[in-house]
Structure 1
Amino acid sequence: MDAEFPVMLSAGEALTDMIACGHGQWRSVVGGSTWNVARSMAKLGLATGFAGAVSKDLFGQELLRASADAGLDLRLLQQYERPPLLAIVGESTPPDYFFIGSDSADLHFDPAQLPTGWSSRLQWAHFGGISLARQPLAGKLLGLARQLKAQGVKISYDPNFRNNMHADYDATLHEMGRLADLIKVSDDDLRGLFRCPDADLAFKQLRAINPAATVLYTRGELGASLHIEESVWRADALKVAVADTIGAGDASIAGLLYSLFMHPERAPENHLRFALAAGAAACMASGAQAPGLQQIEALYKGPYKKN
Structure 2
Amino acid sequence: MNIEMIHAAAGRLAGHARLTPLLNAPLLDRIAGRRVLVKAECLQWTGSFKYRGAWAAVSALQGTRGVIAFSSGNHAQGVALAAAQHGLSAVIVMPKDAPQVKIDNTRAYGAEVVLYDRETENRDAIGAALAEARGLVLVKPYDEPEVIAGQGSVGLEIAQQFQGDAEILVCCGGGGLSSGVALACEGKFRVRTVEPAGFDDVARSLAAGARLRNAALAGSICDAIVTPMPGEITFPILQRLCGPGLAVSDDEALRAMVLAFQHLRIVLEPGGAVALAAALFRPDLPETVVAVATGGNVDPAVFAQAMARFG
| TM-score (normalised: structure 1) | 0.36
Greater share of residues in helix: 2
